[in-house]
Amino acid sequence: MTDTNTLDKDLEKFDLACTYLKNDQNISAHNLFMSLAEREMKNPTYKAGIYLILASECKSRQGKDKKEELLAAAKLYLKLAKKIPSDANYAYRCAAKCFLKIGQFDEAMKASDLAKKYIPKVIEEKRPIIVVDDSPAILIRVKSFLQQLGYADIQTTKTGKAALALTNKLIKLGQNPILLLDMNLPDITGDVIAKNLLKVKPDMSIILITADEKTTPRVTKTIGFGSAAFVQKPFTINELKNALDTAKMSEIK
């Protein structure tokens, strides 16, 4: 388990690295992303892969070869696939994308073929899931998707205050909810909710639901807080499932 102080320091590093990247200070950004990646790789998580991919973008902006970082990310995903077979489909597909970006087409094909052998099975999901959105249409749609994916314990709220109260209540009861969180709520924005909940439970699975691009500063910063995945409106059931798989695999062990 990562303690709160370490998490806060990592968030500060991530925020600073994103600022450097935005200001084209690519060498400084690269060094910070690599520092974060190296720490995460000691007990491999998907965060390490994200940091490596961001580091590769820094290299690319400098006109330098980004192969080293993307190859490290691909190997990380292969390791995660072997470590937890139930999540191998997603991990192998991540590896395939990294191999493709550096032109290793044979390795990409191998990873893609391995992914096909691990087609996830839909089973009844006992874990509680909270959907937070002020749009009734979105709540209905997401709930329908979740039911199709096998989730049974689905609770919905329309405000940030209600989301915080419900989530904290379930945590105190010893449950481990997954939070599907809209960024634009009428009372408290999603980034503030995510930051508050992750201080209470750093390993909590939070999936951002927003019409914003993933690269917008607010979304990027919230992902840096520890939010595990992202889906952009409008989204398909497969995109939601991939986000759920990513969130569960990104939890801090």
Q: How far apart (Å, rounded) are the C-alpha atoms in residues 193 and 20?
A: 25
Q: How far apart (Å, rounded) are the C-alpha atoms in residues 193 and 181?
A: 9
Answer yes or no: pTM beyond 0.85. Answer: no
- Asked whether 26 and 58 are in contact (CB, 8 A), the reply is yes
φ and ψ at residue 182, rounded to 5 degrees: -70, 140
φ and ψ at residue 58, rounded to 5 degrees: -60, -45
Q: Residue 207's beta-bridge partner residues?
A: 180, 229
- For 44-67, b where at least 16 C-beta lie within 10 A, e where not — what string? bbbbbbbbbbbbbbbbeeeeeebe
**pLDDT at residue 194, as a whole number:** 84
Q: Which domains does the chain have, with CATH numbers?
A: 4-116 (1.25.40.10), 129-249 (3.40.50.2300)
Element (H, E) at 5: helix 4-22
**pLDDT at residue 25, as a whole number:** 94
- Closest C-alpha among 173, 167, 121, 128 to residue 146: 128
Alpha helix locations (H) across 46-135? Answer: 46-61, 67-83, 88-101, 105-116
Output the six-digit token pair for 44: 């491999």
**pLDDT at residue 2, as a whole number:** 45
**pLDDT at residue 220, as a whole number:** 62
**pLDDT at residue 228, as a whole number:** 58
- Asked whether 157 and 163 are in contact (CB, 8 A), the reply is yes
Q: Which residues of the chain have pLDDT under 70?
A: 1-8, 120-125, 211-228, 248-253
**pLDDT at residue 253, as a whole number:** 42
Burial of 16 (0-12, 13-18, 19+ CB in 10 A): middle
Burial of 84 (0-12, 13-18, 19+ CB in 10 A): exposed
